[in-house]
A and B are shown apart, each in its own frame.
Chain A
Amino acid sequence: MNTPASLTKEEILRYSRHLIMPEVGMEGQLKLKNASILLVGTGGLGAPLGMYLAAAGIGRIGLVDFDVVDATNLHRQVIHGTKDIGRKKLDSAADTIADINPNVKIEKYDVLLTSENAMEICANYDLIIDGTDNFPTRYLVNDVCVLLKKPNVYGSIFRFEGQATVFATDGGPCYRCLYPEPPPPGLVPSCAEGGVLGILPGTIGLIQATEAIKLILGVGEPLIGRLVLYDALAMKFRELKLRRNPECPVCGDNPTVTQLIDYEQFCGLPQHEGPAAAEVNEGDVDPVEVKAMLDRGDDFILIDVREQHEYLICSIPTAKLIPLGDVAKRASEIDSSKLVVAHCKMGGRSAKAVAQLKELGFKKVRNMTGGITAWSDKVDPSVPKY
């Protein structure tokens, strides 16, 4: 990195509340100015991270995202505004950052971080902040950070709970020490499936930002070897001890992972991204066909396996609500001699319901592909999407 030069008159005024604190001061502010941070993801966590790190005077910020702003992002991704719907998140985030602090050099990467490009991109930064939303990228970011010996400031959220820590520092634990393997696909719901309290990523993202600033300044007790668990409903923070696992395949004493691997495969995912690549199973039925079956008056049972509060947002007439968690114990309410079609929001939970019913001996069970979202797209646009 370049050695600290100096601050301009404008910067001295801008950072004056930092400069008068001995823990930061001129020396610390120059460290921030000479620092570079890569934000992987400019969504829920990346939004507060990008804004506060820019405001604090980080000299160079890299942004990795290939997504576009949509309306469902706005309840939490405060770096994007209503006017940005449809724009690339990178452009929207860069504009906000430039407005907050024009001294920040922004570098945009309009890509999905992959095993092919991650080493090259990450090598340009002092530290990496993981604000992604999926397991393959989390394992990828972890392994890159271990291999490049760069700290990985980790944060993760679900509904109203969050986790944060710092991985991959010298001698400290890495993500694989905590979780050697990812859960199988479908077992852990995503934010799109499970929902997330809009302010939660603000809290967790700012814990990450705090740790990034502390690492750069070299002050305080870094969140290394400690996992902070935050429960917003209980308003409780807990702390668990993390240890480097000497047998860890990537950061252990005898590592077996010495270069990047295929993370989609590691996480048991199909090779291609997105629902378009989802396999069509024999038991699947398209919403258009379900509509035709209803119109013809076919003798079948349509069950909705979403939760009661989702049913209240929108529903398909004639569908019987049996939330996924109740399917097994309420199976007796369903006439197994008839064809049963299950639907949910996107098709994931109903696939599980179909599997459960088949296990219970139901012979004719089919999954409506794409859920009520596809119903809205293909059959009845008056049904709201959420």
Chain B
Amino acid sequence: MAKVLIPTPLRQFADKKDSVELTGATVAEVLGALTTQFPSLKKQLFTDEGKLRSFVNVYLNDEDIRYMQKDATPVAATDTLSIVPSIAGGAQ
């Protein structure tokens, strides 16, 4: 089972969990399992057409999946998937 790290802004859509263990052979399968478990995450991560939103980055261990095989990137049970969304805070 691969580990998926959920960032703070998205935990409210995932029963406040910071990580979950999920099964899947590819990034798409793991993220599919994630949004099946937490349906309200789906709108946060994917467009209506089912594509990953452009302000949500997914990393397999320390590599951006955009520079691997994107959704089709294979995932091993020892891998960690990180969701890294934009945050803007700093001054206020």
Contacts and interface: CB of A to CB of B under 8 A. Distances in A.
Interface of A: 41-46, 65, 67, 73, 130-135, 138, 155-161, 163, 178-183, 187-192, 194, 196, 201, 227, 229, 234, 238-243, 245, 324-325, 328
Interface string B50-92: 0001110101001110110000000000000010111111111
A182 B55 contact: yes
A265 to B, nearest CB: 16
29 contacts: A44-B89, A44-B91, A46-B90, A46-B91, A65-B91, A132-B90, A133-B88, A133-B92, A134-B88, A138-B88, A156-B88, A159-B9, A161-B7, A163-B84, A181-B54, A182-B86, A183-B55, A183-B85, A187-B44, A194-B9, A229-B84, A234-B18, A240-B82, A241-B62, A241-B64, A242-B64, A325-B12, A325-B40, A328-B40
B46 interface: no
B8 to A, nearest CB: 5
A82 to B, nearest CB: 19
- Chain B interface size, as a band, is 20 to 34
Given A183-B86, A191-B89, A229-B82, 8 more contacts: A46-B91, A131-B90, A133-B92, A156-B88, A157-B89, A180-B54, A188-B87, A189-B9
A157 B7 contact: no
Contact of A131 (B9, B57, B86, B91): B91
B91 A133 contact: yes
Contacts of A42: 91
Contacts of B87: 156-158, 161, 163, 188
A156 B89 contact: yes
A188 B91 contact: no
A190 B92 CA distance: 8
A159 B90 contact: no
A138 B87 CA distance: 10
A42 B91 CA distance: 7
A325 B8 contact: no
A188 B64 contact: no
B90 A135 contact: no
A131 B12 CA distance: 26
Contact of A188 (B67, B82, B86): B86
A201 B89 CA distance: 9
Nearest to A130: B90
